[in-house]
Amino acid sequence: MGNHSILNSDAVNISAEDTWQALVVPNLPDGIAVAEIHLSELLNKTERLDIILPLTEVLAPSGLVQETLALIGNRTSKIGLWADTSTTTDQLDSLLGLITGSNSSTDTKKDTADENHISLLRALDLIVLYTPLFADGRNFSLAKHLRLQGYQGEIRVAGEFGRDQIAYLRRSGIDSFVIANEYLAADIATAFSVLPTAYSGNDANQLPMFRSAPASRP
């Protein structure tokens, strides 16, 4: 994972200070975090770590992550979740309900798994939105939805997004960006503040990631 860097909303590279590690699962995409950790390694750590879990497995009624939520919670300092753009707003609302406790059962005999859910997710500090395809713009609406619903933690974007989309992603509520090192450029900071006049939501200018368009001919 050392082939990626993390930039904050001011285009400052914060990779060296970032402590998040993605829990390794079969469907973990490349670029969720700059470091990864296996569940067996996490459960044998004595120190508490900052761990990013897959949202779908946390919300699912069964699965390895679901079955070990309590153990994971006892070995983490901060909790983050990642989701790809196939995530629905209903799933995000379910997540936000767990964070606030608004969806918790009124029954005094709540299921232990539900209690683990609520206890773990109330401390949620980070949500990573992974975009598998460049033309997929659902990360914009998902980030905006989270903000409109009151989520105040960090939202990070990873995957296939373009240089000319960064300023718009910031406007949508994104705080940080996971960028492949091969696409970093000396003038990257300009992408965080300049809104291209030629931007089209249909094709996003169709520029490769973080590459400048060729100069127009006279």
C-beta atoms surrounding 149 within 10 Å: 14
Q: Domain ranges for the chain, please list them.
A: 4-206
Q: Which has the higher per-residue pLDDT, 208 or 9?
A: 9
Q: Is residue 163 scored above 70 in pLDDT?
A: yes
The pLDDT tens digits for 82-94 are 999 899 999 888 8
The pLDDT tens digits for 40-84 are 999 999 899 999 999 888 887 776 777 787 788 888 889 899 999
Q: Could you give the 3-state DSSP secondary structure of residue 198? A: coil
Q: Which has the higher per-residue pLDDT, 114 or 155?
A: 155
CATH number of 4-206: 3.20.20
Q: Is residue 218 scored above 60 in pLDDT?
A: no
Q: Which residue has the tokens 């070990």?
A: 68
Instruction: Place 206 in a pLDDT band, splitting at 50, 70 and 90.
Output: very low
CB-based contact 178:157 (threshold 8 Å): yes
Mean pLDDT of the chain: 80
- Tell me how far apart the alpha carbons of residues 110 and 213 are, in angstroms, rounded to a whole number: 57
The pLDDT tens digits for 95-128 are 888 777 654 444 444 455 555 555 556 668 999 9
Instruction: Place 188 in a pLDDT band, splitting at 50, 70 and 90.
Output: confident
CB-based contact 13:6 (threshold 8 Å): yes
Residue 112: predicted pLDDT? 54
Let me know how long the chain is: 218
Average pLDDT over residues 153-166: 91
Contacts of range 12-20, beta carbons closer than 8 Å, 24 or more positions apart: 14/176, 19/49, 19/50, 19/78, 20/50, 20/51, 20/52, 20/78, 20/80, 20/126
What is the full DSSP assignment across 7-20?
A: EETTS-B-TTT--E
Q: Which has the higher per-residue pLDDT, 176 or 195?
A: 176
Which pair of tokens denotes residue 152? 């105040």
| DSSP H or E stretch at residue 179 | strand 176-180
Percentage of the chain lying above the pLDDT 70 cut: 77
CB-based contact 155:142 (threshold 8 Å): no
